[in-house]
C-alpha cells in the first residue's frame, strides 16, 4: 500500500525581523510533530530552498503557504503572488503580514527620505561619494539586479488574497499550534478570513488584572512606562499607563501584562473593527476625565509618539495608510 502523501507547506519571510521565523522554531518539540505531519516544500530561512524550487511546483500543489513580514520590496510582492498561485491556502503569519506591522511605520516617510537618511545622513554612515542602492548595476559578471524598494509598505492582503491570519508580534507558540491544528486537524476549515488561534473578545477579558479594572474608569492624565514602577496586581490602565487591552484581540495570554508592560496591540483589532488605531485612540480618549481643552492637551502631551502608540502594528492596514506630504502624488 502506498503511504499517503503529506500536505506540502511553505514558509516565507518578507519585510520581517526574523521573530516570526523564530516563533516557528519556538514550537520546540511540537515543531517535530509539524515536520512529521507535513512536507516542508519551501523554508528558505532554515533550509536551502531557492525560488526556482517553488516555480517548478504545479499551481495549487502546496496545501498552505505561511507568509510573515510586510510587503516592502518588489521581491516580496513577486513571492507573495508566486506563493498565492502555488498554494491552496495563504496564511498571513504575524502582525507585519496581518496589518503591516512595525515596518509599516515607515509609511510616515517616503522612499527618497528613507534612502537619504539611511545611506547619507544617519550619524553612523560614512558615504562621502553619496552611493545609493541601484536597481540595476553593470558589473564584470553581467548586469546585477536588486529588488525595487517600494514607496509604501503594505500588509499581505493588500497585494494578494489571504485566507487566514495568525496574529501577534510574533505569534506565540500556543497561537501557532492552535492555527496549525485548525488548518491540518480533523475538523472542518474555519470560515475564510478567520484570525486563527486567538479569541474574539478584547484582551481585558483574559487579563489576570481584569478584576481590578474599574467598570467606569476615568483618569486625569497618563504616565509613561519609565515614570512609574507599576503596582503589581492592579490594572495598568487604571494606573494611568496606556494599555491597549480594551481594543486588542485576546489570545496572547496577556504575556506583556504579566511582565508589567502595557499591551501595545500586536494581536490587532476585533472582528468588526476596520481601523485598529482609531478604535484604540477612542478607547483611551474616552477615559480622560476632562472637558477642558488645555487639560486634555496636557494629558495628550504624555503620548510622545501618537502614531507609534496607536498604529504601531497597523498603519498600512488603517484608513490613513501612509503620510502624504503636500505636493506628493496621491
Please give the residue ranges that form the binding site for ligand SF4 (CB under 6 A): 16-17, 19-20, 68-69, 94-96, 101-102, 169-170, 203-204, 207, 209-210, 213, 235-237, 243, 245-246, 257, 263
Nearer to ligand SF4 among residue 72 and residue 322 (C-beta) = 72
Nearer to ligand SF4 among residue 11 and residue 57 (C-beta) = 11
Least distance between ligand SF4 and beta carbon 263 (Å): 5
Least distance between ligand SF4 and beta carbon 91 (Å): 13
C-alpha cell recorded at residue 44:
528558505
Nearer to ligand SF4 among residue 162 and residue 169 (C-beta) = 169
CA neighbor of 60 nearest in space, from 89, 91, 90, 86? 86
Query: In angstroms, rounded to a whole number, what is the distance separating the alpha carbons of residues 166 and 27?
Result: 15
Nearer to ligand SF4 among residue 57 and residue 70 (C-beta) = 70
Least distance between ligand SF4 and beta carbon 129 (Å): 33
Asked if residues 199 and 249 have their Cβ atoms less than 8 Å apart, the reply is yes
Least distance between ligand SF4 and beta carbon 208 (Å): 8
Nearer to ligand SF4 among residue 171 and residue 278 (C-beta) = 171
Least distance between ligand SF4 and beta carbon 278 (Å): 18
Least distance between ligand SF4 and beta carbon 120 (Å): 26
Residue nearest to ligand SF4 (CB): 245
Nearer to ligand SF4 among residue 12 and residue 57 (C-beta) = 12
Nearer to ligand SF4 among residue 41 and residue 241 (C-beta) = 241
Least distance between ligand SF4 and beta carbon 238 (Å): 6
Amino acid at each position: 500500500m502506498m503511504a499517503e502523501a503529506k500536505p506540502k507547506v511553505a514558509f516565507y519571510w518578507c519585510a520581517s525581523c526574523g521573530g516570526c521565523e523564530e516563533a516557528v522554531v519556538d514550537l520546540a518539540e511540537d515543531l517535530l510533530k509539524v515536520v512529521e505531519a507535513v512536507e516542508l516544500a519551501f523554508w528558505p530561512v532554515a533550509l536551502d530552498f531557492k525560488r526556482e524550487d517553488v516555480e517548478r511546483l504545479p499551481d495549487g500543489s502546496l496545501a498552505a503557504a505561511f507568509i510573515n513580514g510586510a510587503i516592502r520590496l518588489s521581491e516580496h510582492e513577486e513571492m507573495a503572488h508566486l506563493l498565492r498561485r502555488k498554494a491552496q491556502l495563504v496564511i498571513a503569519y504575524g502582525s507585519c503580514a496581518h496589518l503591516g506591522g512595525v515596518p509599516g511605520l515607515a509609511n510616515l516617510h517616503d522612499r527618497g527620505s528613507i534612502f537619504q537618511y539611511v545611506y547619507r545622513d544617519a550619524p553612523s554612515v560614512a558615504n562621502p561619494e553619496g552611493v545609493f542602492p541601484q536597481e540595476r548595476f553593470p558589473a564584470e559578471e553581467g548586469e546585477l539586479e536588486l529588488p525595487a524598494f517600494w514607496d509604501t509598505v503594505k500588509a499581505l492582503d493588500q497585494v494578494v488574497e489571504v485566507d487566514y491570519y495568525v496574529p501577534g508580534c510574533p505569534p506565540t507558540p500556543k497561537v501557532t499550534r492552535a492555527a496549525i491544528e485548525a488548518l491540518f486537524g480533523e475538523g472542518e476549515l474555519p470560515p475564510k478570513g478567520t484570525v486563527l488561534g486567538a479569541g474574539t473578545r478584547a484582551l481585558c477579558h483574559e487579563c489576570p488584572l481584569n478584576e481590578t479594572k474599574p467598570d467606569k474608569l476615568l483618569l486625569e492624565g497618563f504616565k509613561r512606562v519609565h515614570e512609574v514602577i507599576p503596582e503589581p496586581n492592579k490594572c495598568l490602565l487604571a494606573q494611568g499607563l496606556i494599555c491597549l487591552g480594551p481594543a486588542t484581540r485576546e489570545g496572547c495570554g496577556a504575556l506583556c501584562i504579566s511582565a508589567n508592560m502595557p499591551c501595545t496591540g500586536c494581536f490587532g483589532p476585533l472582528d468588526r473593527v476596520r481601523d485598529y488605531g482609531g478604535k484604540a485612540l477612542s478607547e483611551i480618549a474616552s477615559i480622560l476625565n476632562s472637558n477642558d481643552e488645555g487639560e486634555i492637551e496636557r494629558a495628550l502631551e504624555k503620548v510622545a509618539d501618537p502614531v507609534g502608540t496607536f498604529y504601531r502594528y497597523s498603519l498600512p492596514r488603517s484608513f490613513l495608510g501612509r503620510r502624504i506630504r503636500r505636493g506628493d502624488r496621491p
